[in-house]
């Protein structure tokens, strides 16, 4: 059943993102495809939830924590400029609350959770290799690596996405320059959420999260190259 879910979900994710690339880059319906970004983001979020093995209250707690943290920090950023920098959202991402699209909170969860899953699965593989050789990794090292490396992975994704998101009208930076402070805030906030991810007791082997991260990364890399 899990493989069935993964296969169906990966197919849908690839279909939607490839269709989006073709529509944006090679057709005269570019604006229609951009306008339907919220549908794509919401569908990917639902597929991620559908593929979550044995969801429990702690998983739901992380979803809620990531969503509220994302919305809260973005509202501070948009309305004060004291987080991320001076920027504002356009209308592409759908309904707003206090200047921030609701989908941004969902996107925070998707990005941080996917990075956390990738690091968790990588550490499981490394831990097994170490144990086969008769040695053991320190839990402190594993935690530090998951939090810091996962945060760097999230920041890398944001770095790839930022110029594309600006061109597609998702948001706009004052002076048309993306500040370093934006990436610093992404790193610190992501690290805090990944620390929570590490210690909350829920199943973290959601393989669709890995597929989705790679698909979305390739999507934005392609647009960054050709737009």
CA distances from 121 to 32, 57, 150, 210, 222 (A): 37, 21, 12, 9, 26
Compute the distance between CA of residue 79 and CA of residue 98 in angstroms, rounded to an integer.
Answer: 8
Q: What is the pLDDT of residue 121?
A: 95
Mean of the per-residue pLDDT values for the chain? 94
| In the predicted structure, residue 96 carries a pLDDT above the cut 70 | yes
For 64, other C-beta atoms within 10 Å of its C-beta total 12
pLDDT at 65: 98
- State what percent of residues in the chain have pLDDT above 90: 87
Label residue 1 by pLDDT band (50, 70, 90): low
What are the strands, taking DSSP E only, across the chain? 87-89, 96-97, 100-101, 171-173
CA distance 9 to 212: 9
Tokens of 19: 């269709």
Over residues 89-97, the mean pLDDT reads 95
User: Could you tell me the pTM of the whole model?
Assistant: 0.94
pLDDT per residue over 133-179, tens digit each? 777 777 888 889 899 999 999 999 999 999 999 999 999 999 889 99
Q: What is the pLDDT of residues 32-57, one digit of tens each?
A: 999 999 999 999 999 999 999 999 99
**Is-contact 7 50, C-beta < 8 A?**
no
Mean pLDDT of 114-133: 87
The fraction of the chain above a pLDDT of 70, given in percent, is: 100
C-alpha span between 4 and 136 (Å, rounded): 34
**pLDDT confidence of 78, banded at 50, 70, 90?**
very high
- Rounded distance between C-alpha atoms, residue 97 and residue 185, angstroms: 21
């Amino acid at each position: 059943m899990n493989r069935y879910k993964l296969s169906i979900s990966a197919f849908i994710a690839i279909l939607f993102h490839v269709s989006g690339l073709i529509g944006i880059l090679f057709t005269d319906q570019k604006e229609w495809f951009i306008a339907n970004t919220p549908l794509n983001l919401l569908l990917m979020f639902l597929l991620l939830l559908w593929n979550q093995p044995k969801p429990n209250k702690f998983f739901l707690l992380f979803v809620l924590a990531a969503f509220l943290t994302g919305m809260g920090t973005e509202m501070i950023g948009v309305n004060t400029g004291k987080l991320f920098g001076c920027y504002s959202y356009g209308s592409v991402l759908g309904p707003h609350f206090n200047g921030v699209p609701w989908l941004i909170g969902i996107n925070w969860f998707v990005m941080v959770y996917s990075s956390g899953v990738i690091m968790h699965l990588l550490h499981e593989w490394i831990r097994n290799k170490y144990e086969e050789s008769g040695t053991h990794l320190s839990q402190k090292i594993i935690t530090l690596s998951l939090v810091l490396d996962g945060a760097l992975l999230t920041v890398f994704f944001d770095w790839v996405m930022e110029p594309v998101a600006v061109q597609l009208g998702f948001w706009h930076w004052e002076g048309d320059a993306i500040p370093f402070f934006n990436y610093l805030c992404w790193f610190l906030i992501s690290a805090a959420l990944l620390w929570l991810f590490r210690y909350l007791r829920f199943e973290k082997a959601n393989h669709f999260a890995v597929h989705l991260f790679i698909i979305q990364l390739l999507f934005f890399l392609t647009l960054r190259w050709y737009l």
